């Protein structure tokens, strides 16, 4: 059975100029259209879309379609599950598990569209329905997962799996279902199941409430600037974007600095006004801490407590132990050991970097100590001095859609033989969205990828991948994938120029997209990114390597006005500076990952109240040894959406865990000739096509030929003993 609600699908991440004439709203709309057919059977979710690849018919979807489709979808799946559990035939893979995989198609269709739109194009109506649906969907899934008749059939298959005629994917499916049902509480007593249902419903409500409060808090925290002179150091493009954002918000003639989801904000690297830098960082770090509808702290406190109670009910000491038992890491001890191993070297590097920045401050502006809001600005100055490199030099060579089409897509064509054809004849949910049809090397249709790269009101922050349709040979479906970024929209007529970090993010998110597009599994449960949380980032991190691969970089890094390739001297500066500031980057990440574990390794009765949230956070960072005043965590608890709304609870360590596999894989590609079709085919065959259909570490070892080695990661991050790179 395939959970399409991202809150329920354990393996499927919402991983961090338009075509069509969809009726869905633009950023100026407040509601989706209220129009609706008088005939309920016209609801577009009641039957499969007739568009290519079952792309949702966005031009026919109205906000009023969602609620009845959810009602019918849940009712239909309940009937389908009832037919399975009352089937008198001996349970087998087809009449039980394959039947479950086929169930709930209406619910799958409406969930895919609704939860994607809630993330990218939310309206007040969608928020209201999201709040209403959270406990209902939790109850619906509990009704299935806690049905003793259904578990009896699954348990029978599990006990007999060695005697059945099964292929490898079927055997793994039986094991996966059995694990999922046991972890969901199938072996609990009836009173315990009743308590679990209450907890699941409340947790679902809280996760939805956190996301909605955070969306409001982030919008409210935008910093309004009245004097253009205060924006000294920003590029004309950045100032124009801030002016356009202010005008959209009703502040014509002023400048609005909107916040990205992380603690540090990109503009701080260039803003000369120290007071404004401090003001922006304070606004960023205060998100979710003001009383009222934007205060996320009560939600965090209760959510952590409820998760701990649920974990204990299910037989685990804490929520982290529960989550990690079904990961490649396996235990809290394994995660703590890795994070603890990396922390001393990272903080030592960050401390050395801080001393270098203080020297720079003393030589130019003596009289103040380095603060967190100063770090990006002086780090950028030091980068320029050390490498003669200013990131703004590179931006004219990174025009958004040239990077996408001549870089990201080009690398995929070289590695996997893929071809991309833009479709302007298909409807989308917003004019920002572009649709590309993807073909294999022999011209066979593979799927669609939708790209949605601009920030706007009603869209979650960050970057991620999700899907509208998942690949499955059982269902006969090909993938429809969505990639999201939050790039500031330039003024009309101006190009969208990226920083190199944004370029890397494009390649990263497309790595997730490849995991979905190149999936070749039978069962939708295993499709694409349906893998453990600490494995899902691995293919996307590998794909980042092609951003700087010489043949790829040369192909896309061209000046947006002249078409001239990026000068080799500038390329070398970018490459030389890549280890720069890694002590800071690693420490801010580790601080967030350690904070995640601190929250979720609490037992019931140990969780703090909302009023004690900040003091808990401070103590946790001190105990972990990452309480550097000039290196705040990448996310603080009140705006840590990965943990409290995004499916990464107790799993934020996954990025560094996956990076071990990534670093090994990069070395493998280099040793085998790099950007070669044979290498791409090997990675596709052993990793990308397999989804979650086998043990992930077995897949890695089949690809790599050995167990993972942490040494390449330590070298990459400058964390080896005695490594003096800054």
What residues are annotated to the active site?
509
Long-range CB contacts (< 8 A, 24+ apart) of 547-552? 547/407, 547/500, 547/503, 547/504, 547/506, 547/507, 548/574, 548/575, 548/578, 549/411, 549/674, 549/675, 551/414, 551/675, 552/407, 552/410, 552/411, 552/414, 552/675
Cβ atoms of residues 535 and 506 within 8 Å: no
- Give 83's contacts (C-beta < 8 A, 6+ positions apart): 99
SS3 109: helix
d(CA 703, CA 279): 49
SS3 141: helix
Cβ atoms of residues 210 and 645 within 8 Å: yes
Cβ atoms of residues 523 and 102 within 8 Å: no
φ and ψ at 601, to 5 degrees? -100, 15
- In the beta sheet, which residues pair with residue 497? 399
Cβ atoms of residues 396 and 561 within 8 Å: yes
Residue 305 exposure: Cα atoms within 13 Å on the Cβ side: 14
- In the beta sheet, which residues pair with residue 439? 419, 445
> What is the C-alpha radius of gyration for the chain, rounded to an integer number of angstroms?
25
d(CA 159, CA 166): 13
CA angle 296, 302, 308 (to 5 degrees): 130
d(CA 167, CA 255): 61
The residue among 484, 479, 481 whose CA lies nearest residue 464 is 484
SS3 577: coil
Cβ atoms of residues 113 and 61 within 8 Å: yes
The residue among 10, 608, 602, 603 whose CA lies nearest residue 300 is 608
Helix segments in 365-463, DSSP class H? 375-387, 391-394, 400-403, 409-416
Q: Measuring CA to CA, how many Å separate 553 from each of 403, 465, 677? A: 9, 23, 18
Strands 434-439 and 419-423, bridge-based pairing? antiparallel
């Amino acid at each position: 059975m395939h959970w399409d609600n991202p809150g329920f699908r354990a393996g499927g991440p919402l991983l961090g100029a338009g075509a069509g004439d969809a009726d869905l709203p633009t950023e100026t709309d407040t509601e989706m259209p209220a129009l609706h057919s008088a005939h309920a059977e016209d609801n577009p979710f009641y039957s499969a879309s007739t568009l290519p690849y079952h792309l949702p018919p966005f031009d026919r979807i109205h906000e009023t379609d969602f609620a009845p489709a959810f009602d019918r979808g849940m009712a239909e799946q309940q009937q389908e599950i009832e037919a399975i559990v009352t089937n008198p035939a001996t349970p087998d893979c087809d009449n039980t598990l394959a039947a479950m995989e086929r169930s709930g198609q209406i619910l799958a269709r409406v969930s895919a569209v609704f939860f994607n739109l809630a993330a990218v194009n939310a309206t007040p109506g969608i928020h209201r329905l999201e709040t209403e649906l959270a406990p209902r969907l939790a109850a619906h899934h509990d009704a299935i997962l806690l049905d003793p008749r259904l578990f009896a059939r699954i348990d029978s298959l599990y006990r007999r799996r060695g005697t059945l005629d099964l292929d490898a994917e079927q055997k793994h499916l039986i094991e996966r279902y059995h694990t999922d049902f046991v972890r969901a509480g199938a072996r609990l007593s009836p009173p315990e199941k009743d308590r679990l249902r209450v907890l699941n419903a409340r947790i679902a409500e809280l996760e939805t409430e956190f996301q909605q409060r955070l969306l409001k808090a982030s919008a409210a925290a935008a910093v309004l600037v009245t004097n253009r002179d205060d924006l000294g150091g920003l590029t004309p493009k950045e100032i124009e974007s801030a002016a356009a954002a202010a005008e959209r918000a009703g502040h014509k003639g002023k400048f609005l600095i909107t916040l990205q989801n992380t603690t540090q904000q990109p503009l701080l690297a260039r803003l000369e006004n120290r007071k404004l830098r401090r003001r922006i960082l304070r606004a960023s770090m205060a998100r979710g801490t003001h009383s009222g509808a934007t205060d996320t702290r009560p939600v965090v406190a209760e959510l952590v407590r409820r998760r701990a109670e649920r974990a204990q009910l299910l037989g685990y000491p804490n929520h982290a132990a529960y989550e990690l038992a079904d990961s490649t890491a396996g235990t809290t001890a394994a995660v703590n050991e890795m994070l603890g191993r990396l922390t001393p070297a990272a903080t030592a590097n960050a401390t050395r970097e801080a001393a270098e920045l203080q020297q720079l401050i003393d030589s130019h502006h003596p009289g103040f100590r380095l603060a967190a809001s100063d770090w990006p600005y002086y780090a950028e100055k030091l980068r320029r001095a050390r490498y003669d490199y200013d990131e703004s030099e590179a931006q004219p060579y990174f025009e958004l859609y040239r990077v996408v089409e001549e870089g990201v897509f080009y690398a995929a064509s070289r590695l996997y033989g893929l071809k991309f054809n833009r479709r302007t004849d298909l409807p989308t949910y917003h004019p920002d969205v572009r649709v590309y049809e993807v073909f294999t090397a022999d011209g066979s249709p593979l799927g669609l990828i939708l790209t949605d790269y601009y920030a706007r009101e009603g869209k979650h922050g960050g970057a991620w991948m999700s899907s509208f349709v998942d690949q499955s040979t059982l269902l006969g479906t090909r993938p429809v994938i969505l990639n999201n970024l939050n790039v500031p929209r330039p003024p009309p007529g101006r190009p969208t120029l990226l920083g190199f970090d944004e370029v890397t993010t494009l390649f990263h998110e497309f790595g997730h997209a490849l995991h979905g597009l190149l999936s070749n599994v039978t069962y939708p449960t295993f499709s694409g990114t349906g893998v453990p949380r600490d494995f899902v980032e691995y293919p996307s991190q590998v794909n980042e390597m092609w951003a700087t691969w010489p043949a790829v970089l040369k192909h896309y890094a061209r000046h947006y006005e002249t078409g001239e390739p990026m000068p080799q001297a500038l390329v070398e500066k970018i490459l030389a500076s890549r280890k720069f500031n890694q002590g800071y980057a690693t420490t801010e990440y580790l601080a967030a990952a350690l904070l995640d574990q601190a929250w979720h390794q609490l037992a019931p009765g140990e969780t703090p109240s909302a009023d004690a949230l900040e003091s808990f956070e401070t103590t946790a960072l001190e105990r972990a040894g990452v309480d550097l005043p000039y290196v705040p965590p990448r996310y603080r608890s009140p705006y840590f959406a990965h943990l409290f709304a995004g499916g990464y609870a107790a799993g934020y360590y996954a990025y560094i865990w996956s990076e071990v596999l990534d670093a090994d894989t990069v070395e493998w590609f280099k040793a085998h000739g790099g950007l070669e079709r044979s290498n791409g085919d090997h990675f596709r065959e052993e990793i990308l096509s397999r989804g979650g259909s086998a043990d992930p570490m077995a897949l890695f070892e089949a690809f790599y030929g050995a167990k993972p080695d942490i040494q390449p990661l330590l070298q990459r991050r400058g964390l080896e003993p005695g490594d003096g790179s800054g």
